[in-house]
Amino acid sequence: MAGTNPMPSAEHMEPRAFIRSLFDTAVAAADPAHCLAPRLPSAPKGRTIVLGAGKAAASMAQVVEKEWDGPIEGIVVTRYQHGRPCKHVEVVEAGHPVPDDKGLDAARRILEMAQGATEDDLVLCLISGGGSSLLALPGGSDDVEISLADKQAINRSLLWSGANITEMNTVRKHLSGIKGGRLALAAYPAQVVTLAISDVPGDDPAIIASGPTVGDLTSADDAKEILERYAIDLPPSALAFLASPGAETPDPDDPRLARATFELIAAPRASLEAAAEQCRIAGMDAIVLGDAIEGEARDVGRDHAKLVLQMERQTKPTIVLSGGETTVTVKGDGRGGRNAEYLLGLTIALDGAKGIHALACDTDGIDGSEDNAGALAAPDSLSRAAAAGLDPVAMLEANNAYSFFAELGDLIKTGPTFTNVNDFRAIWVDAKS
């Protein structure tokens, strides 16, 4: 087509720039502006109430406002700096990954709005990753009340323990007053339609944001077992609540969930496939390891280094893609982030191998609680680090991977992307010479 600039052939591409562009492609594939509008339900006889939580909640609400034919009202809660301007849906910014009082207040108001819905109303729930921390409504009863301070302490312990997202959210559901299907129960008998963006391995609706609108197959005993496994001490209030009937979540076959439906509108697999297609258009081979890779971040990095070092070099560059959610067991006092920690583990294991470049980023634009999405690594990363007086092994042990890549000028800073389909990793392996 006249006037277009065809993508250059693989041998003329700069590796760092190309894998950086793959990250942009992966994020674009999960942009609510592209994937939400076609999934909107029909308008109800009564009111349309928009409720939501997660890092993409405000951008999703913005799309709904643009596309919806008729009046809407509601409230969504998102992470600080992840808000988007909306006219009819209130957007609240709150703490993540540790909840705060703004998240607590927003969760209470969301629950109250759901409780006010009638049989003729539609409750449109916009759910994305991060909702577990943002819907900060601790469980409680007349006899037992979990405070926000207790909730914050539990969240910190979970985040530092090395527990995976499924384990963490199992605990969160059973200590909550709104997650684990409880939001849908509050909206009964209204129609509840959930549109979700997945950031969890396996895309389980009950795990995404701790499943506020779907039934749950786990029990309070499961939560207790996870807490024991990771040696997490609970405050007395949380222990008492876990022993009470209120800690149990509704089963998927609970009749009060009969009018609740769930639809996934974006997921990690689609973003990886979009990046793989870009590789093929550029004349490269793409290998997708999977979108549900879990494990200790540094160990996954080392495993991926072994894999690419053992690969037989092809006649054209090969891109190895993967997604998922690794974990970090925090033992040091450095600045980290699971993507930076993965990348430093990989860099050390590659030991300066020629022709291998790598990127690891969180698609929400924030690696953990830092100001970067992730980082880039190159064959000369270790030599540049040595020249700067950095000890990569010591920095990894101190959970200080952020500082390592910051010193090299290799952090990737995008700011919030207003979506979230978890981690994206790309490794460029040169063709054989």
CATH at residue 221:
3.40.50.10180
pTM value surpassing 0.85 = yes
> Based on the domain organization, do 116 and 168 belong to the same domain?
yes
> Based on the domain organization, do 261 and 355 belong to the same domain?
no
> Based on the domain organization, do 242 and 278 belong to the same domain?
no
Q: Let me know if residue 195 belongs to a domain.
A: yes
> Based on the domain organization, do 159 and 81 belong to the same domain?
yes
Can you give the pLDDT at residue 268? 96
What CA–CA distance (Å, rounded) separates 161 from 167? 11
Q: Let me know if residue 252 belongs to a domain.
A: yes
Can you give the pLDDT at residue 2? 37
> Based on the domain organization, do 156 and 212 belong to the same domain?
yes
Exposed/middle/buried for 299, CB within 10 Å: 0-12, 13-18, 19+?
middle
Pick from 280, 406, 281, 282: nearest CA to 336? 406
Instruction: Give the CA angle between residues 306, 312, 314 to the nearest 5°.
Output: 130
- 161-186 burial, b for 16+ CB within 10 Å, e for fewer? bbbbbbbbbbbbbbbbbbbbbbbbbb
Examine the fold and report which residue of 231, 251, 266 is the final residue of a domain before the chain moves on: 266
> Based on the domain organization, do 115 and 209 belong to the same domain?
yes
Q: Let me know if residue 403 belongs to a domain.
A: yes
Examine the fold and report which residue of 213, 237, 266 is the final residue of a domain before the chain moves on: 266
Residue with tokens 């109303």: 121
> Based on the domain organization, do 260 and 365 belong to the same domain?
no
Q: Quick one: DSSP state of residue 247?
A: G
Q: What is the pLDDT of residues 327-384, one digit of tens each?
A: 999 898 889 899 999 999 999 999 999 999 999 999 999 998 899 999 999 999 999 9
Distance from the Cα of residue 239 to its chain's centroid: 28
Examine the fold and report which residue of 217, 242, 266 is the final residue of a domain before the chain moves on: 266
> Based on the domain organization, do 199 and 300 belong to the same domain?
no
> Based on the domain organization, do 25 and 45 belong to the same domain?
no
Q: Let me know if residue 335 belongs to a domain.
A: yes
Q: Let me know if residue 15 belongs to a domain.
A: yes
Q: Let me know if residue 372 belongs to a domain.
A: yes
Domain containing residue 355: CATH number: 3.40.1480.10
Sheet of 356-362: strands edge to edge? Answer: 285-288, 318-324, 423-429, 356-362, 374-377, 411-412
- Rounded to whole angstroms, the maximal C-alpha distance in the chain is 73
Residue with tokens 């800690």: 247
Ranges of residues in the chain with a pLDDT under 50 are 1-6
What CA–CA distance (Å, rounded) separates 140 from 146? 6
- Say if residues 152 and 98 touch (Cβ distance below 8 Å): yes
> Based on the domain organization, do 294 and 212 belong to the same domain?
no
What number of CA atoms fall less than 13 Å from residue 14's CA on the CB side?
Answer: 4
Count of helix runs (H) and strand runs (E) in the chain: 16, 12
Note down the domain range covering 132: 35-266
Identify the helix (H) or strand (E) that includes residue 113. Answer: helix 101-115
Pick from 186, 161, 177: nearest CA to 210? 177
Can you give the pLDDT at residue 310? 94
Q: Let me know if residue 3 belongs to a domain.
A: no
Q: What is the pLDDT of residues 94-151, one digit of tens each?
A: 999 999 999 999 999 999 999 999 999 999 999 999 999 999 999 987 678 899 999 8
Residue with tokens 């959210």: 169
> Based on the domain organization, do 290 and 409 belong to the same domain?
yes
Cβ contacts of 10 within 8 Å, gap of 6 or more: 282, 283, 284, 316, 317, 431
Pick from 308, 412, 293: nearest CA to 360? 412
> Based on the domain organization, do 288 and 172 belong to the same domain?
no
* Total domains, the chain: 2
Q: Let me know if residue 5 belongs to a domain.
A: no
Pick from 59, 9, 22: nearest CA to 275? 22
